[in-house]
Amino acid sequence: DVATSYPDPVHIAVIGGTGLQSLPNFTLAATLNVSTPWGIPSSPISILHHPSPTTGKPIPIAFLSRHGLNHELAPHEVPSQANIAALRSIGVRTIIAFSAVGSLREEVRPRDFVVPDQIIDRTKGIRPFTFFEGGMVGHVGFGDPFDEGLAKVVRKCGHSLEGEGVTLHDKGTLVVMEGPQFSTRAESNLYRSWGGSVINMSALPEAKLAREAEIGYQMICMATDYDCWHTTEDVNVEMVMGHMKANSENARRFIGAVLDALSAQEHSDLVSAKHLEGQMKFAGGIT
């Protein structure tokens, strides 16, 4: 059964990336087809019921597959405005986003997780990247592109799984490139010289749009390859998918732990993004 809305506000969302197109261990409560002024999202939104670890009461969690249900959208085709607007319209104030990344550092080995704290934007400005245009002028701060409060929760959960084979790096600078082609070796080495830790094609404009929508946003990266600086062998999709598949159990365990932690404080200021309210400063136009 497909609906267009859910009776209760859904505060927490997970955006799944390559290799994490669904969360099968959760109870599906509803499937929503949401449309927005910016079009329709990458996939229907699944509402999953996650039992609160404190009360046992089911907490609704939204899940959206960034590349579509069958991975049919390339990174530059993802309708990020529609994705963020659709999630915001059902009440989402906290997003945990997953992404496969290439490693730019020896110590970040394939299958390691990274909680990035910075971004370098190497997209080409061809993806629609703002809600503020067409007469409405707005500027948001983006000095810290991720939500440090969410990052703390995520890091704690990741470290609690260290005995179960999860290796987590607490910080890192994420380079976001346009793609869909991977980098040249000269580019890969340049990003290393800039201090880049990992690289993907997906955190932007998602993180910028989430900030504009006053939604707390944290990405969890899983390394699926060493980018081409490392070897003479080029990165390929089989490599990315292979590591993703082999480590998907850890990714699911990780997200389960994060959802436990966030559901336990579903109504806290952190999850309801109270700290982001009123951040938007309008410069004029339609207000």
Distance CA 195, CA 217 (A): 22
Site membership for ligand ADE, residue 199 (CB under 6 A): yes
Of residues 224, 247, 250, 272, which one binds ligand ADE by CB under 6 A? 224
Which residue's Cβ has the minimum distance to ligand ADE? 102
Site membership for ligand ADE, residue 100 (CB under 6 A): yes
Cβ atoms within 10 A of the Cβ of 75, count?
23
Distance CA 23, CA 144 (A): 29
The CA R_g of the chain, rounded to the nearest whole Å, is 18
Cβ at position 127, least distance to ligand ADE in Å: 15
Both tokens assigned to 179: 């793609």
Distance CA 15, CA 94 (A): 11
Task: For residue 170, give the amino acid letter.
Answer: D
Of residues 12, 20, 101, 114, which one binds ligand ADE by CB under 6 A? 101
**Residues 263 and 59 sit within 8 Å (Cβ to Cβ):** yes
**Residues 153 and 262 sit within 8 Å (Cβ to Cβ):** yes
Cβ at position 36, least distance to ligand ADE in Å: 27
Of residues 115, 150, 157, 240, which one binds ligand ADE by CB under 6 A? 240
Distance CA 94, CA 201 (A): 21
Cβ at position 275, least distance to ligand ADE in Å: 30
**Residues 129 and 209 sit within 8 Å (Cβ to Cβ):** yes
Cβ at position 73, least distance to ligand ADE in Å: 15
Q: Which stretch binds ligand ADE (CB under 6 A): 34-42, 78-86, 164-172, 224-232?
A: 224-232
Of residues 42, 200, 218, 272, which one binds ligand ADE by CB under 6 A? 200
- For ligand ADE, the closer CB: 201 or 276: 201
**Residues 138 and 281 sit within 8 Å (Cβ to Cβ):** yes
Residues annotated as catalytic (active site), given as ranges:
225, 227
Cβ at position 239, least distance to ligand ADE in Å: 8
Interface positions with ligand ADE (CB under 6 A): 100-102, 177, 182, 199-201, 224-225, 227, 235, 240
